[in-house]
Structure 1
Amino acid sequence: MASTQYKRSSSWSSKSTSSSDFQVHIRGVPFTLDRDLLAAKSAKLAVILKENPHEDLSYTLRDIPADPETFELVARFCHGFELDVSTDNVVPLSCLAHCLEMTEKHSTNNLLKKALTVFEQRILPSWNECIKALRTIENIRQQAVKFGLVDACVESIITKAQANPLLLGEPIKKFTSNDDTEDNENDDYMPNVRRRLFVLDWQSEDLTTLSLWLYEAIISAMYQRKVPLEYLAASLCQYAKRWVFSSNTGEDDISIYKRNSQREVIETVERLLPGEKGLLPCTLLFEMLRFATALEASSGCRNGFETRIGKQLDQATVKDLLIPSQGYAKEMQYDTECVRRILKNFYCHYTRQDASGLIMVAELVDEFLAEVASDIDLKMSTFLSLAEMSVSASAGTQRNSDGIYRAIDIYLDKHRYLTESEREEVCQVLDCHKLSPEACEHAAQNDRLPLRMVVQILFVGQLQLRDTIVKEVQGSDDRLRKLEEEEAAEEEEEEKRAKIGCGEEEMRVEMEKMSNKVIELESECHEMRRKIQSDCSSRVEKEKGSMWKEMKRKFGCISSSMHDCNNCHVKKKKKKVHPR
C-alpha cells in the first residue's frame, strides 16, 4: 500500500512548482506532498506550514477525518489532477475539504464548492443517491453530522417518502404471514416522465441497508412528519429480517459482538414499532418475540412484543404459541409463562363487543394445552392456571368443554404418577355439564380419570338422557298439539269459506232480482214515453181545427166547406148592388 502511494506521489511532483516536499501519514499510509501546492488550496495547511516551516510534519494530519483513499483524492486535486466527484466519495470529500478549509475565499474553483455542487445537484434530488451517500459516512459520522450533510440527506428522504410511501415497501398485511422470501423489493419509483423513459429498470434503494443509528433517526423523523404507519411498520419488519432474522442466533459460535448488535437492532425495532392493532400479522410479532427472547433482549422489549400480541391474540395459531423455553425454564419444552402473560394482555384489552374473539382465544388455549400437556416437566399448577384462564374466557357462552377434557386426558396419560387427589384437582376445571354426548361416553370409560369424576360424569349422562327423553316427549306433545291446532284452523277456514260461499249465492240472487226490476222499469218507461207522444200529437190536431173555425167565424165564413169559404166575398159584394 505504501509503495503504491509513493508511486502516485511521484506523479504529483511532476506538476509541482516547488521542490519543498514533505511527508505525512494518514492512518499509517505515507504521502509525499508539495508544501506550496497544498498551501495554495488549503487555508488550514497554509497556516500550519507557515508556522512550522522547518519542523517535521509527518504526523501533523494524523487526526484529520479521512481515510487514505479520500486523502489521496484531495492530494491529487491539490497537485492539479482532474477529480471525479461521485456518490461514493462526495460526502467524505466534502467533510475533508471543509476540515482543511478548502474554500472559495482561499482559492477560486476550490474543492469544497466543487463537492457541494455535486451534492446539491446530483445527490439530494434522488432517493437512491441519498441512501448511497449515507452509506459512505460511517467513518466520518461526527464530521458529516456537524457539517449538515446527514440532515440534508435525511430531509430529502423524508420528503420523498411523504410523497410516495411505497418507497418504504408494501404494507405487511399484503404479504403472507409465513413469508420466507428475501427482503421484498419496492415498487419502481419513477420521479418524472423523463427518467422513466431513459431508465426503465430503475428501482428504489432499500432504506434498511443503512446503519442502525441512521435508520432510527430517519424513522423517528418520519413519525413526526406523519408518514403512514403501515409503511413504517413494513420498513421496520424488513429491517429486522435483514439484520436479525437472517442470522441463526441459536448458534454457539456466534460472536458476542454480532449478538450484541442483533440485540440492539431488535430492541430498536420494538421501540419504533407502532402500537396500533392490526398493522402487523400476529405470526410476525411472535417471530420477533422469539428472537428477542433468544437474544436476551431487555424485559421492556419482550413486554412490548407481548403487549402487541395480546391485542390481536385471536389471530394467532397454536404454532405461534409454542415458544421454546430459554434460560432458567429450559427444563420445560415451551415457555408457558410467556403464554400466560400474553393471555393477561389479551384480557386487559378485551372489549365486550369482541365476543367472537374471546371464544377463539379460549379454543386456542385449549389446543395449546393439548399440545403442551404431553410435556413431562409441565407442572400441575401451570397446567391448571392455563386451563382456568381458558374456562374463564368461555364463561357465559354456549361453548362446550370437549377441548379442556382432551387436554386433561393427555395430561393424566403423561403424568400417571399423580395421586388420586391430584387427579381430582386437575379435573376440577372440567365442567361435566358442558361435555358433548360423545365426550361423556368416552369419559365414562376412561380409566385415567379419578373415580369420583367418572361417577359425576355418569350422573350427568343420566341427567342428559332424562332431559333428552323429556324433551322428546314434550316434542311429541308439541307436535300433536300443533297438528290439532292446524286441524282446528283448517276447519275454521272451511267454515269461513262456506259462509263466504252462501253470502255470494244470496248476493247473486239479489243481483238477478234487481236486474229484472231494472228491465221492467225500462219497459214501463218506454210505454209511458210512447203514450205521451201519441197524446201530444192528437192534441195538436184538435187545436189546429178549433183555431181554423175561429178564423172563419171572424171572416164571416159560416159554412164549413171550403167552397163556401172561397165564395163568401162574392156574396158580400152582391148584396151591396141596388136595382135601377
Structure 2
Amino acid sequence: MEAYCDLEVDVNGEEIFIVDTKIIAQYSGKIAKLFGKSNSTTGKLKVIFHDFPGGAEGFEVMLRYCYNNGTTDIRPPNLILAHCAAQFMEMKESVSGGVNLLERTEKSMREMSYWTWPDLLIALKQCQNLVLIKDSYAVLEKCLDSLVARLVFPIEASPCLSSSSPDSSGFRFSCDSKSTESIKTNSSRSTWWFEDLLFLSPMLVEMLVKSMLSRKFDHVVISRFLLFYHKAKFSTATTDEKRKIIEMVIDVHFTMDHSSVSFKTLFGILRITWGLNISKCSRNKLENMIGAQLDQATLDNLLVPSPYGISYLYDVNLVLRFLKAFLNRRTCLATPIRMRKVASLIDLYIAEIAPDPCLKPSKFLALATALPDSARDSYDELYHAMDMYLEVHSGLSEEERLKICCGINYKKLSAEARLHLSHNKKFPSKSAVEALIFKQSKLKDILHVTPSTTSSTGSPCSSSDAREGGRKDKTSEQVVLYAGNFDTSADNEKLRAHLQGMQWRVIELEKVCRKMQTQMTKMAKSKASGCSYARSLPKLCS
C-alpha cells in the first residue's frame, strides 16, 4: 500500500498528507486535472494548498470519503467541512458510479430544519471558520436561516447548552439542560439563546440580525441581544475588536425601529465611542438616533466636554448636530409637545454655556435660532442666557450684538423681562427701543387708549393729541427700522440731525412709558412682592 502513496499534499502549512494519486483522482476533479495523466515513477509528486477550507480537518474528511469507496458518515458536526472540501476539490462520481460527496452534503443540508439546537450551533461555528472561503456564504445563510427559524418558534427550541451567563448583562436566564419545559414557561424564554451565540463574530451577528428582521423578529429582543453581546465581549476584546463590535451594534440598530432602544442606552454607547476611532458613518448614525430622541435628554446629557483641540468648554457642535437630527426626521415625529420639551432643554443648555468666554457669537446664535419660533411659548430663559452672554462678551461689536439679539421674539417676553430689557445697557439700542414700543402698545391695549377715548390721566384725547400719538408711533417704528443703520459721516449731516431728533423722541417715549408703569404695576401686584428677575447661576458661574 505504501508504494502507491505517491502524492505529498501540504494543507495550509498545518499538516502533510501522503496519499495515492489514483484513488484521489477518481473522486476529485482538481487532482485529476493536476496529476491524472502523470506517469512519474522517479519520485513523489507534491501539491501545496494554501486556502483549503477547514484546513487539515476538512482534508481528512474528504480523504475518508475517497478511501472508503465513495461512502462516509455525513453528520451535522462534519457536514459543513465535507461540503466545503467537496466544492474545493471538485468532487465527482467515482468510476463505479453513485452519489458524489457534494451532492450528498447538499441533500443533508436540505434537512437542516430537523437538526437539534446543539447541531445547529456546531454547524454555525464551522461556518464562521470558513466564512472567507469562496461559495461558503450560501451555506452560512442556510445555517443562519435554520437557526432563526428555530428562534421564531421558541417552544420547539432546545435548551441552551451553557449553564451561566455574564452578570454584566443585566439579564437572567433559565437554561436547564434537563428539560425544555423550563424555557417554555419562564418569563425570560425569549432571551435564553443569548449566551449560546456569543461565539459569533460581529460580521455573523449582523448577518443573523438581518435574517431575524426579514422574519419580523421582535426588535426589542434583538436590541437586548446586541447589548448583551456588546457587554459580554467588550471586557476581553482588543481595541480593534471593540471598534468593530461597537460599529456593528450601531449599524444594526440604525436599520431597526429606533424606539427599540432608549435614549439613555444610545448615549451610553456614545460615551464608549469617545475612546474608539469608529468610522464617521457609524458616528453619524448614532448621533442621528440620539437626536431623534432628544426630548428624552437631560441637561447633564448635553454637557459633553469639547474634543481635544477645541477651545469651547462644551461640545456645542455635537448639540447642534443633535438638533439637526431632531428637526430633520423623515417621519415628522417632532410634535408640538416634543418641540417644547427640546426648546426648554436647549434654553437651559444655552444658559449653561453662555459664560464660556471662548464661545463664538456664531455658535451662540446658531443654538438660539436652531428651533422654530413655535417651539417656545416664552423667550424669557433665552433672554436671560443672552443677557449673561453679552455681559461676559463685553467686547462684541454693535453688529455682533444686533445679530445675537435677532434670536429673540420680543412679543413672547414677559412684562417683567421687557421691563428689564428696557433698562439693559448691554443690549443694543434697537432691541431696547423695540421692547419699549411693544410695551407701550401692550399698555395702550390694556388701558383702551385710542384717539377717540380717554387718556391715562382721565382727560379726553384731543384730535391734536391723537395726531401727535400717531406721529410718535410712526417715528418709533422708524427708529426700530433704521437704528444702527445710518451713515453718520461728515457728508451726511442732514441724516445726523434727523437721527438726533429721533433719539430725542425716543427719550420722550421712555418718559411716557414710565408714567404708564403705575398701571402695569397694579395689574402685576399679586406677584410683584415676591417676584424678581434674578435667576440661578449656571454651573460655570457657581
By the TM > 0.5 criterion, same fold?
A: yes
Of 25, 28, 33, the residue aligned with 2:10 is 25
Cα 1:359–1:196, aligned 2, differ >3 Å: closer, same or farther?
Answer: closer
* Contact 2:354-2:389 at 8 Å conserved across structures: yes
* Contact 2:148-2:211 at 8 Å conserved across structures: yes
Of 350, 366, 371, the residue aligned with 2:347 is 366
Find out whether 1:67 has 2:55 as its counterpart.
yes
Of 62, 66, 80, the residue aligned with 1:91 is 80
Of 219, 241, 244, the residue aligned with 1:229 is 219
Of 288, 312, 333, the residue aligned with 1:332 is 312
* Contact 1:189-1:203 at 8 Å conserved across structures: yes
Q: Tell me whether 57-66 or 432-441 shows the greater mean CA deviation.
A: 432-441
Cα 1:313–1:89, aligned 2, differ >3 Å: closer, same or farther?
Answer: same
* Contact 1:35-1:49 at 8 Å conserved across structures: no
Q: Which runs of 5+ in 1 are unaligned?
A: 1-15, 168-179, 249-253, 474-580
Match of 1:58 in 2: 46
Match of 1:415 in 2: 393
Distance in 2 of aligned mates of 1:44 and 1:438: 92
Find out whether 1:386 has 2:367 as its counterpart.
yes
Q: Give CA-to-partner distance per residue, 1:266-313, whole Å, 9 cap, x none.
A: 67436x522x452221233345566778636345x5554444444332
Rg larger in 1 or in 2? 1
Match of 2:146 in 1: 156
Structure with more of its chain in helix, by fraction: 1
* Contact 1:95-1:147 at 8 Å conserved across structures: no
Cα 1:380–1:296, aligned 2, differ >3 Å: closer, same or farther?
Answer: farther
Cα 1:30–1:238, aligned 2, differ >3 Å: closer, same or farther?
Answer: closer
Of 253, 265, 279, the residue aligned with 2:248 is 265
* Contact 1:44-1:100 at 8 Å conserved across structures: yes
* Contact 1:87-1:129 at 8 Å conserved across structures: yes
Q: How does 1:394-409 map to 2 (within 5 A)?
A: 394-395=375-376, 397=377, 399=378, 401=380, 403-409=381-387
Distance in 1 of aligned mates of 2:67 and 2:181: 37
* Contact 1:92-1:136 at 8 Å conserved across structures: yes
* Contact 1:70-1:93 at 8 Å conserved across structures: yes
Cα 1:394–1:196, aligned 2, differ >3 Å: closer, same or farther?
Answer: closer
Deviation at 1:364, TM superposition (A): 0.6
- Structure 2 counterpart of 1:269, one-letter code: V
Q: Which runs of 5+ in 2 are unaligned?
A: 158-165, 440-509, 527-542
* Contact 1:22-1:34 at 8 Å conserved across structures: yes
Cα 1:42–1:381, aligned 2, differ >3 Å: closer, same or farther?
Answer: same
Q: How does 1:99-248 map to 2 (within 5 A)?
A: 99-100=88-89, 125-127=115-117, 129-141=119-131, 143=133, 145-146=135-136, 148-164=138-154, 182-183=168-169, 185=171, 187-188=173-174, 203-206=192-195, 207=197, 209-236=199-226
* Contact 1:127-1:204 at 8 Å conserved across structures: no
* Contact 1:208-1:235 at 8 Å conserved across structures: no
Distance in 2 of aligned mates of 1:186 and 1:78: 49
Q: Give CA-to-partner distance per residue, 1:443-473, whole Å, 9 cap, x none.
A: 8998977799899799899977633414669
Q: How does 1:475-494 map to 2 (within 5 A)?
A: none
Distance in 1 of aligned mates of 2:139 and 2:395: 70
Find out whether 1:285 has 2:266 as its counterpart.
yes
Q: Tell me whether 155-164 or 65-74 shows the greater mean CA deviation.
A: 65-74
Distance in 1 of aligned mates of 2:333 and 2:217: 32
Distance in 2 of aligned mates of 1:356 and 1:17: 85
- Structure 2 counterpart of 1:404, one-letter code: L
* Contact 1:391-1:429 at 8 Å conserved across structures: no
Distance in 2 of aligned mates of 1:29 and 1:91: 19
Deviation at 1:404, TM superposition (A): 1.9
- Structure 2 counterpart of 1:418, one-letter code: L
Match of 1:320 in 2: 301
Of 313, 319, 342, the residue aligned with 2:322 is 342
TM-score, normalisation: structure 1: 0.56
Match of 2:520 in 1: 467
Match of 1:177 in 2: none
Match of 2:277 in 1: 295
Cα 1:72–1:277, aligned 2, differ >3 Å: closer, same or farther?
Answer: closer
* Contact 2:11-2:48 at 8 Å conserved across structures: no
Q: Tell me whether 124-133 or 83-92 shows the greater mean CA deviation.
A: 83-92
Distance in 1 of aligned mates of 2:155 and 2:255: 16
Cα 1:461–1:408, aligned 2, differ >3 Å: closer, same or farther?
Answer: farther
Deviation at 1:429, TM superposition (A): 3.9
Match of 1:6 in 2: none
Deviation at 1:383, TM superposition (A): 0.4
* Contact 1:365-1:390 at 8 Å conserved across structures: no
Deviation at 1:98, TM superposition (A): 4.9
TM-score, normalisation: structure 2: 0.59
Aligned residues: 430
Deviation at 1:365, TM superposition (A): 0.3
Distance in 1 of aligned mates of 2:100 and 2:400: 87
Distance in 2 of aligned mates of 1:443 and 1:246: 59
Q: How does 1:525-564 map to 2 (within 5 A)?
A: none
* Contact 1:135-1:211 at 8 Å conserved across structures: no
Q: Among the aligned pairs, what percent are the same residue?
A: 25
Q: Secondary structure at the match of 1:278?
A: helix
* Contact 2:11-2:56 at 8 Å conserved across structures: yes
Query: CA RMSD, aligned part only?
Result: 5.5
